[in-house]
Structure 1
């Protein structure tokens, strides 16, 4: 339970109460805050939600054959070298043979029960595996005509042939991973190449809302206004949706690059900058703010209890499965079978979600006011990596909370008070 100290524009203060265990936001008298101005009403369906898995090193959860979201990792080969990449440093060379695709498609009925709702296609860079990808997607579409397909690419290999093919597929969404003004931290900018730019413009024009950019922020490049205008200017339209996963850790392969805040003052400055820019109407309406706020509002509207709240990545969900074409099951698409294999589809009953600890078993998560936005950070990380990841997600999550509170009350979040705020001995935190 947390007390939120709020300040109106006239300088007067008031308090709200946030209960992350029940997803309730109330005034001091216990009355629910009106969320209808954002087009949402309370339905209190949280009590009907099933319990989320509670994974520990000693209690690894199984996976279900009734897969709702299937993430297929084509391989880790990539033509970029992002400063913050969480995937393996040693990447295998990409393989253009399609024989493993045929075996994968032919074996699906042996381990999956019915059609998934969503199939996601991942790399590395998935377009490096063009022949595999094309064969795989066409086989999946033939088998499951109504499945939703999702592809994430850095966009550098897009051309008109690939765009024609993608646009001809039904029910597909494409995310172009691009950091806008911070793209130089990843390598070349595909938007600087006239042919690639033309292909990306065509992709967005033809897919409409089923195409978007996704950006990783850094300390030098965390302005959402600058990010949006980077894409608006280059694509020649403001009808562009952008999402962001905030800051990333491991922060850099080059210790000289200062990509994440290094002290509390830098985190505070970044929070204030983000909160100010998030209120800009066209930023607020874009996916970069609108999508996280919908997620927050969903939890408040349904009063989602802690027992039903899983990890933010959803990979603790038994019905979410990440696999390679050889049938290895991995913790998530960002990991390698060499280090994070949790089983095989050919021995499905033995699959267990190892390498992971859910937020339910982390004291700092249970005492975090940003939990509803963060979802517990990465369940695999420990030590220094976890500490950095937690700090990044905490700050970013608080900005979403503060933005939602401003939209609902017109007041600024000043301070958070509680029995414990993440760490022992911390009972207040200034936004």
Structure 2
């Protein structure tokens, strides 16, 4: 599959199956568009009004060479083996999302976790339940050395003592089991203090800091239960933590809704506050909710990603760049082969654990009893769910088959698919449109910064 598009003055051609990306001149761009379905003589004839014949023929020769080199018009060599892969695939658990606290000290209006309750009761994970979860992870991780544990909520800092106890216990498991834990934590920042920051810097490989952007945006959607905004309290703490981590190994993570479709301004605000690592995600919710993204919002959203991409390039060239999660694509490796076949890993390699020890495929399924997989005492009981999630990938989804971005998103979010279509083997169309735009912007950014490096050289 070939995907062609123009962006910021660049003619970009993606060879989807190989992952090769080409920035070409106008004549080559037009030749590629005709190459598969048109005879060579007809290509020359059709383009002769626009370009010199010699230039057209040279472009045809170059395209032929790229095809022979396996960089254009390549075939998918993995699809024929997908059934065999699914039958023989042996998975190990490599990551847990520990719901350390089903409670929160904020009342975010878009929260899918219902202020931390997840359609259930408020609860805190005990050390004993968390200990069993870590034991389960070690026992079911096979020969894998590096294991990941995310402390999640609600608000994890409301159960801080148990977080520390579990980190200590995890460290005690490393040497005798030949494992290495990578701990992360997501926080709204309300309870952050110097002591906690020092501990996070010592033990947490990554910290996610929840902030929605400009003060008026954040305080509208992320208030305390009294209605008071949280921005003024948490921003100085986040700035201090980011600096204490040398502006790495953290993310400021925002959510944009219909109330701030101009979200590029919020990302710029993050950068102006001094943050270097950031992400802002579209809210996902029922269409009837006033804050939910709708199809009619997509033109504005696409415009915002274009604006953000240009700002990203501008600031990078000025020496004051930042990392935006959705613009980080590694073109040297191409789309990950494993991800083509395995999807995101939820329900197989990654599990969420409730405060009372139940297993779910990921945090977005927590509270839906249809997806209760087992518990820390009995292990995985619903092996049928493991198989169902293991068979979910870009080849099992009809909507992914003709999508140029499928190998970058691995088929998208299973929970969004289920919530909108009642099956994990579908796709959330609005999310797909945004993902395609982000991939296009990411590749254009690579082209623009490569041009800049040439100029500097």
1:153-200 deviations in Å (ceiling 9; x for gaps):
12222222322322232x52111121113322232443312xx44433
Q: What's the CA shift for 1:139?
A: 1.3
Q: Distance in 2 between matches of 1:409 and 1:378?
A: 30
Corresponding residue to 2:211 among 175, 178, 182: 178
- Of residues 97, 110, 130 in structure 1, which corresponds to 2:160? 130
Cα pair 1:47 1:305 within 8 Å, conserved: no
Distance of 1:17 and 1:302 partners within structure 2: 14
Match of 1:191 in 2: 231
Q: Does 1:404 align with 2:443?
A: yes
Q: d(CA) in 1 for partners of 2:419 and 2:142?
A: 40
**Structure 1 residues 110, 229: closer, same or farther in 2, change over 3 A?**
closer
Residues 108 and 23 of structure 1: is their aligned pair in 2 closer, same or farther, counting only changes over 3 Å? closer
Stretches of structure 1 that go unaligned for 5 or more consecutive residues are: 34-40, 411-431
| Matched residue, 1:72 | 98
Partner of 1:278: 309
Alpha-carbon distance in 2 for matches of 1:149, 1:315 = 18
Show the counterpart of 1:268: 299
Partner-residue secondary structure (3-state), 1:129: helix
**Residues 73-92 of structure 1, C-alpha deviation per residue, up to 9 Å, x if partnerless?**
32433333333333365342
1:121 to 2:151 alignment: yes
**Is the counterpart of residue 211 in structure 1 residue 250 in structure 2?**
yes
Quickly say closer, same or farther: Cα 1:201–1:330, change in 2 above 3 A: same
Shift, 1:267, TM fit:
1.3
CA distance in 2, matches of 1:377, 1:303: 14
Q: Evaluate the alpha carbon distance shift between residue 302 and residue 240 of structure 1 in structure 2; reply closer, same or farther with a 3 A threshold.
A: closer
**1:314-367 CA-partner distances (Å, limit 9, x unpaired):** 426x43343346543211123325522223453448533377543322211112
Matches within 5 A, 1:1-400: 1-6=1-6, 9=9, 17-26=13-22, 28=32, 29=63, 64-65=91-92, 67-87=93-113, 90-95=119-124, 97-105=126-134, 110-113=139-142, 115-144=145-174, 146-169=180-203, 172-181=205-214, 182-183=217-218, 184-188=220-224, 189-193=229-233, 196-208=234-246, 209-223=248-262, 225-232=264-271, 235=273, 238-245=274-281, 247-250=282-285, 255=289, 257-263=290-296, 266-280=297-311, 281=313, 285-288=321-324, 291-295=325-329, 297-298=331-332, 301-302=333-334, 304=336, 308-311=340-343, 313-315=344-346, 318-324=348-354, 326-336=356-366, 338-339=368-369, 340-344=371-375, 346-348=378-380, 351=383, 352-353=385-386, 356=389, 357-382=392-417, 385=420, 389-400=428-439
C-alpha separation between the residues in 2 aligned to 1:95 and 1:23? 45
Distance of aligned partners of 1:4 and 1:143 in 2 relative to their CA distance in 1, 3 Å threshold: same
- What do the CA deviations read for 1:1-49 (whole angstroms, capped 9, x no partner)? 244243774xxx96x543434434456226669xxxxxxx9xx9x9899
Change (3 A) 1:31 1:249: farther
Q: Distance in 2 between matches of 1:359 and 1:105?
A: 31
2:213–2:269 Cα contact (<8 Å) kept: yes
**Secondary structure of the equivalent of 1:277?**
helix
Contact 1:73 1:323 in 2 (8 A): yes
Q: Could you tell me whether the CA contact under 8 Å between 1:250 and 1:385 is conserved in 2?
A: no
TM-score by length of 1: 0.71
TM-score when normalising by structure 2:
0.68
What is the SS of the residue equivalent to 2:329?
helix
Change (3 A) 1:8 1:185: closer
Aligned length: 376
- Greater helix share, 1 or 2? 2
CA distance 1:168–1:258, shift in 2 (3 Å): closer
Listed one character per residue, the Cα deviations across residues 212-242 of structure 1 (whole Å, up to 9, x for unaligned) are 2011222442445522343355x5xx25311
SS at match of 1:398: helix
Q: Is the 8 A contact 2:205 2:249 kept in 1?
A: yes
Q: Whole-Å Cα distance in 1 between the matches of residues 83 and 164 of structure 2?
A: 35
CA-CA distance at 1:287 after TM superposition: 2.1
Task: Quickly say closer, same or farther: Cα 1:24–1:103, change in 2 above 3 A.
Answer: closer
Separation in structure 1 between the aligned mates of residue 109 and residue 360 of structure 2, nearest angstrom:
24
Aligned equivalents of 2:264, 2:238: Cα separation in 1: 21
Q: State the distance in 2 between where 1:139 and 1:399 align.
A: 40
Closer, same or farther: CA 310–96 of 1 in aligned 2, 3 Å: closer
